[in-house]
Amino acid sequence: MTPIQDATPKPPKYPADLDTSIVLPKQRASPASSLASLPFRTSNPSLHKLFESTALTSTSRPSSGTATPTPSAGPGSILSPGSRQNGTGTPGSLRPGVSDEHRTLIQQAYAPHVVVVADKDTEDLIRGKGLDGGLLQLLRPFGESLSGKVTIRDSVGASKSYEDFGVRFVGMDQVLGRPPALEATPMRPRPVGGDVAQVEELVERHLQYSEFSAQGSVPDYLNQGEPAAQESGRSPFYTLYMRRLLSGLPMVPHETFAHPVVGVIATSSRSATPVEELRDLYNRQHQGDLRVPQWVDGLFLRYYVFIHEEETGDIAKSNTTFDAMKRHFGLNCHLLRLKGQQCISSDDDAVRLPRCEWLSASEELSEIQKQENADEFTDPTPYIPDSDVTAIKTFVRELVAQSMVPHMERNIHQWNEQILARRRGLSGRFMSLSKRWTTFGSSRSSSTSTITSSNSNYDSVGGFYRPDAPEALMRRLADYCFMLRDTKLALSTYEILCTDYNNDKAWQHYAGAAEMAALSALLSPAALTAKIRTEKIDEWIRSATYSYTDRQRSATPFYALRTLALSLELLRLRGTSATDDAARWGSRILEMNLVGPIGAALVTERISACFSIRPGLGVLKLGSRRRKAAFWAVLAAEEWRRQNKALQAEKCLEAALQLYGARTETFQGGPVRLPFDEMQHFVDELRQQILGLRLANRGLGEDDEVGETEQSLLVEEATETLDASPRAHRKSLVGAVAPNIDTGPLSPTLERMPEKDDLFEGAV
């Protein structure tokens, strides 16, 4: 018989840095002695706060102006508090109890990027306030969520307001693809995403800390000590995995989401010649050492900022300088008044600088390691005056609402009329066909009938289109529409781009256009029939995944994983038969080995969640997928057990038992008995192994000098925790002896598990 290890896909083993990884031992001599060997500082409150705040999603908004996180609209955990629309309430197209959190997460992830550059005097001014990262560190958290609504007009002139619109402030070093100037050691890697191994490492840290917290050493940082009402099958660690996967989008030629839309050029009242400083910074960006790569359009909108230092600056002189700036550079200017002195927590108007929600995995790992190695136990988060918070919010809102959004709307209108409208016409289609099948415009002659025209704008050697090429402008048009949430125009543009990129054999660009075409169609509020999903969306997803992996010389799992993971989430929200498609693409992630061990377990959980929400018809619930959901939940529990994550394994196994026993008559009368003895034996054995793992993590090894009474109490306590539901089979756990449980190789019953897939599918 084929063992289950062969049936379950084996994820790749990403290289891990032994100096930065935290690995908890399977068995420790005793709880007291084990604490000394842990890298976590249990008495370090700043590290505990870091694990809470870095995983915080939408409960703390910089626009609130307070240091205390504001409560979310619906219940949720720290890692997964629910969407900003409503944590538990959902749009009318969703079933009750199904959250739109991940759809909102996807919309927020693709935000316009604003590059920040300042002169030396300005950077010294901000660092004097206690912010080592300079102006970028000060502005970055306030751009992720603007205060108030932002009104955007779509391509037909209809206006719509959004409360969760934001931008990403990035440094010039990230745009140029080089380490920051302040980065003297590997402790502060550049904030660029796209590394699946780093995402796995980060979520592993949070999981280990969660397992450590569950032993009672520190409060439960997931639910803050209280049970959280969550959607069935919704893992907070999966939400964290998705957020970090989408954080810090890399700057690449085949998509323009990370390309700068606006450039902030800043100087301060400390400068003797501020106007000349602004001109010098602009010239350096245009043709100097700060020039963007050749496949990035350098003519993005510039926004000039003059920072007035309240303590030492002359406001009359600053106003005169600001008027001169507006005469030289136009109306895209702002006077920002900030205090230059450093603020401490004891000051009356002190406000904690909000933490960034969209940290890249490398940044968060660096921050965790930095605080683990710190000697002091104080919170390193800087404080700023409340007046600075108000001034920065006003600046960011004016930048976005009055300059950036109108600039993007004008470009969309211009490119739509000058380029896209011609391509939709008969002449545009004829020229596209002529470029594909004939040699119009080419000086070469060929006897073949199907050749590619030599006048293609694609640089096959460099792998990019020039920024002024029609294909590049249309890609920016589609990305601008997607970022401004005009999915209808974005979808039609991506469809045309798929044809052009396919003709030019620009496979990376073709994969990106196909990926975004599928996401635009799934984000569209229009209904999708099964025929459209099969003939268009499935084909786009399949083509994008294949082109990302098999058609590239240096294939990376990031883009293929992003395509499948986002498609899974958006298909899942469509309900009915689309949930089966979502589960199928989740299985493809495992088959293609796009994730590591942590991602494999989380995706397995998510496949179970996809099957669990499909409704059935009638009293018998015909067409539901509860048994499949339970089967995948059991596989997830086994996957977590292999990785020594007892807490997560318990949750998955309990979810499986609830799905198997939801319709039994013994719900109130005793433990649930599964229909087949071998199924019952397998589940009981898995539960015993999980219990043994829990006891081993608590320090109960074979050589422990623990009294029989104390050990029996610990076994009973663990049994009570694992048997919280009346559906649990209690007798199989009470007689278990933790030290003798084999948590290594799988038992013969577990090895025969693939043979019993039909038994699980036949369970009531």
| Helices assigned H by DSSP within 344-486 | 361-372, 386-398, 405-415, 421-424, 426-437, 470-483
**What is the domain extent for residue 588?**
505-614
Instruction: Please count the helices (runs of H) and the strands (runs of E) in the chain.
Output: 31, 11
> Which amino acid does the sequence have at 119?
D
Residue 218 lies in a domain: no
Whether 598 contacts 643, CB under 8 Å: yes
pLDDT for residue 667: 36
- Please compute the mean of the pLDDT values over residues 163-185 and round it to a whole number: 76
- Residue 278: inside a domain: no
| Confidence label for 296 from pLDDT (cuts 50, 70 and 90) | very high
Residues 637 and 569 in one domain: no
Q: Tell me 63's DSSP state.
A: G
pLDDT at 698 over 60: yes
* 120-134, 353-367, 710-724: the lowest-pLDDT one: 710-724
In a domain, 571, yes or no: yes
For 236-289, write each residue's pLDDT tens digit.
899 999 999 999 899 999 999 999 999 999 999 999 999 999 999 999 998 888
Q: What is the CA radius of gyration of the chain?
A: 28
Return the residue matching tokens 């000349």: 276
Lowest-confidence segment of 117-121, 224-228, 344-348 by average pLDDT: 224-228
Whether 597 and 625 map to the same domain: the answer is no
Highest mean pLDDT among 69-83, 199-213, 505-519: 505-519
How buried is 94 (Cβ within 10 angstroms: 0-12 exposed, 13-18 middle, 19+ buried)? Answer: middle
> Are 583 and 672 found together in one domain?
no
568 pLDDT higher than 80: yes
Q: Which of 572, 597, 614 is the last residue of a domain?
A: 614
Quick check: 166 and 146 in contact, CB under 8 A? yes
Q: Give the pLDDT confidence score for residue 551 in this predicted structure.
A: 84
Handedness of CA 213, 214, 217, 218 (dihedral sign): positive
The band of 702, judged by pLDDT with boundaries at 50, 70 and 90, is: very low
The verdict on residue 73 lying in a domain is: no
Query: Regarding predicted confidence, which is higher, 127 or 710?
Result: 127
pLDDT of 442 reads 38
End residue of a domain, out of 547, 580, 614: 614
Burial class (CB in 10 A: 0-12, 13-18, 19+), 66: middle
**Higher pLDDT residue, 675 or 188?**
675
Residue 584 shares a structural domain with residue 657: no
Residue 598 is predicted with a pLDDT of 96
Task: Let me know whether 608 and 654 are in one domain.
Answer: no
At 345 the pLDDT is: 85
Per-residue confidence (pLDDT) for residue 34, from 0 to 100: 41
Of the pLDDT bands very low, low, confident and very high (cuts 50, 70, 90), residue 9 is very low
* Average pLDDT score over residue span 333-340: 94
Q: What is the mean pLDDT of the chain?
A: 76
**Matching residue, tokens 């422990």:** 704
Residues 641 and 686 in one domain: yes
Q: What is the mean pLDDT of residues 457-478?
A: 94
Please state which of the ranges 219-233, 453-467, 747-761 shows the lowest mean pLDDT.
747-761
pLDDT mean over 145-171: 91
pLDDT at 192: 64
Last residue of a domain, one of 614, 636, 666: 614
Higher-scoring residue by pLDDT: 139, 556: 139
pLDDT-based confidence at residue 28 (cuts at 50, 70, 90): very low
pLDDT band, very low/low/confident/very high, at 747 (cuts 50, 70, 90): very low
Query: What residues contact 644, with CB distance under 8 A and at least 6 apart?
Result: 24, 26, 211, 693, 697, 743
Higher local confidence (pLDDT), 444 or 670: 670
Q: Mean per-residue pLDDT for 451-459?
A: 67
Dihedral of alpha carbons 18, 19, 20, 21, sign: positive
Q: How many domains does the chain have?
A: 2
* pLDDT at 49 (0 to 100): 62
Tell me: pLDDT of 436 over 60.
no
Q: 């975004």: which residue's tokens? A: 516
| Residues 610 and 698 placed together within one structural domain of the fold | no
Query: What's the pLDDT at 618?
Result: 64
pLDDT of res. 17: 43
* 142 token code pair: 């306030």
pLDDT for residue 303 is more than 70? yes
Has residue 330 got a pLDDT over 50? yes
SS3 category, 336: strand
**What per-residue confidence (pLDDT) applies to 671?**
57
Q: Is residue 447 pLDDT above 70, yes or no?
A: no
For residue 150, what pLDDT is reported?
94
Rounded to an integer, the average pLDDT of 215-240 is: 55
Is the model more confident about 444 or about 315? 315
Q: Which residues contact 686 (CB under 8 A, 6 or more apart)?
A: 634, 637, 638, 641, 653, 750
Q: 691 and 734: one domain?
A: yes
How high is the pLDDT of residue 693? 87
603 and 650 in one domain? Answer: no
Q: Is 373 part of a structural domain of the chain? A: no
Instruction: Average the pLDDT over 422-449 and give the result.
Output: 48
Residues 742 and 692: their CA atoms lie apart, in Å, by 8
By the 10 Å C-beta count (0-12 exposed, 13-18 middle, 19+ buried), 339 is classed as middle
Better-predicted residue by pLDDT, 539 or 667: 539
pLDDT (tens digit per residue) in 624-664: 888 899 999 999 999 999 999 999 999 999 999 888 874 43
| Domain identity same for 534 and 640 | no
Which of 16-30, 143-157, 366-380, 588-602 tops mean pLDDT? 588-602
Residue 40 lies in a domain: no
Residue 108 placed within a domain = no
Q: Report the DSSP pairing between strands 383-385 and 350-352.
A: antiparallel
For residues 629 and 763, state if they share a domain: yes
Strand bridging mode 260-268 / 301-309: parallel
Do residues 658 and 522 both lie within one domain? no
Residue 722 in tokens? 């694992």
Burial group, residue 156, by CB count within 10 angstroms (0-12, 13-18, 19+): exposed
The pLDDT value given to residue 485: 94
Q: What is the distance between the alpha carbons of residues 242 and 55, in angstroms, rounded to a whole number?
A: 12
Tell me what pLDDT residue 555 has: 66
The verdict on residue 513 lying in a domain is: yes
Q: If pLDDT is split at 50, 70 and 90, which confidence band does 79 have?
A: very low
> 658: part of which helix (H) or strand (E)?
helix 646-660
**More confident call, 345 vs 58:** 345
pLDDT at 141: 94
